[in-house]
Structure 1
Amino acid sequence: MASAVIDTKLCFCIAVLCLVSVFCCGLGNAEGDVPQFGEEGGVHEPGTGEEGEFSDPSQIVAKALLCFNDKYIYKSCEESYRLDQSGDLHVPPEHTLEYCTGPCLRETNLVLDCIDGVLIHFLFYNRATIKDVRDTIHAGCSYGPERGHFDVAEHIAAEEAGARRVASQILIQLGLIFAGRLLFLGHVKYNAVHVLQVRFLGRLHAPDATVWYSEPRSGLG
């Protein structure tokens, strides 16, 4: 009985650990499963969303790319600081104040709004989304530890690593909680079985208190 309980606990613990390992590995490889379309691999068009008056994906992409060269958007920002199809922001740390308080920040946001208005799901050549670029700009212009860092690829890698780390910790904690509960229940069950066995054996070997047998005394009666 005790060995069966222990085997059950061991099998459950192994199953939980295997489940945690599979989820962790799956999260680590999730970014490699993103489908891409287009010759340059820069645009992700899943076939849904608002496409306006254009039905051909190539026309939609071409219209979105026009946002980078729209003379009514980029007018005052220095050309070396402008966002392009690569998705990179070439802003030196020493020019952070100039970029964040000058026309570049406003015009870059207008470019992102323009792209988002044409194509909902847009990937730059570095696989960054519009949200990734916005988040990088927000962090680079903040007064926190990331101020002055406008490396979009580095920002994406840090976000993905943090998400995987948090998910792994949650899965491990859940596995430990379930394993601990099973071990506790198994321990309680083992103790209960052990008590029943002791009581049963005690009754089996104890003399019957209701039956008395006495030899007749010699010389009496």
Structure 2
Amino acid sequence: MAFSSTPGPKCWFLVAALISIAVTCCKSDLVENDPGQIVAKAILCFNNKYIYSSCEESYRLNESGNLNVPPEATDQFCNGPCLDETNLVLDCIDGILHNFLFYNEATIQDIRDTISAGCGDTSERGNFNVQQHIQDEYSHAYSDRSHLMRLYLPGSMILLFALLF
């Protein structure tokens, strides 16, 4: 049986993830030394049963950066435990990794802006489309490419863990 000398797609992904981690480690402004551990702590915020305890699971924010709150559930989300618990998750992430970037490239501030608009008393009430706030001219997303490289670490680490486990 002959083996191919060209690496497969999983190998290339692993190489890309390791390069992303190396770039992040070299340019990081984080105080702690282990970026993987920092990201793992931030990701635990999404699954913390003490934070998310009463909010309906389908309305919860996750690593994707989407808020799947239908317009008819706006009052339930905004006037119930979901709003407080989602803000606690964002505070948890921000306290661990202030420049966290969700899969959809939203920042923590983009999510906060979306929640504010979706729960506000304007024409945007009930609209929890995070993507619209990322593309908004007032978006807080980073535009500097070197800064973006550091922010892709959370996504890279999550994908790496998903492939390995």
Q: TM-score, normalised by structure 2?
A: 0.67
User: What is the count of residue pairs matched by the alignment?
Assistant: 119
Tell me whether 1:56 sits opposite 2:37 in the alignment.
no
28, 43, 68: which is aligned to 1:47? Answer: 28
Max radius of gyration: which structure?
1
147, 152, 157: which is aligned to 2:130? Answer: 152
- 1:136 is matched with 114
- 1:113 is matched with 91
Runs of 4+ in structure 1 deviating by more than 6 angstroms, as ranges, are none
- What stretches of structure 2 of length at least 5 have no aligned partner? 1-15, 140-165
**How many angstroms does 1:119 deviate by?**
0.5
Amino acid corresponding to residue 116 of structure 2 in structure 1: H
Q: Deviations over 1:60-85 (max 9, x none)?
A: 10110000000110000000000000
Provide the identity percentage. Answer: 62
Q: Deviations over 1:108-163 (max 9, x none)?
A: 00000000000010000000000000000000000101110001012221x13x78
2:111 and 2:47 map into 1 onto residues whose CA distance is 18
Secondary structure, aligned partner of 1:72: coil
Tell me whether 1:69 sits opposite 2:50 in the alignment.
no
2:75 and 2:62 map into 1 onto residues whose CA distance is 21
- What stretches of structure 1 of length at least 5 have no aligned partner? 1-36, 164-221
Amino acid corresponding to residue 98 of structure 1 in structure 2: Q
Q: TM-score, normalised by structure 1?
A: 0.50
- Cα RMSD of the aligned pairs, angstroms, is 2.2
Q: Deviations over 1:74-101 (max 9, x none)?
A: 0000000000000000000011011000
Secondary structure, aligned partner of 2:64: coil
1:79 and 1:117 map into 2 onto residues whose CA distance is 23
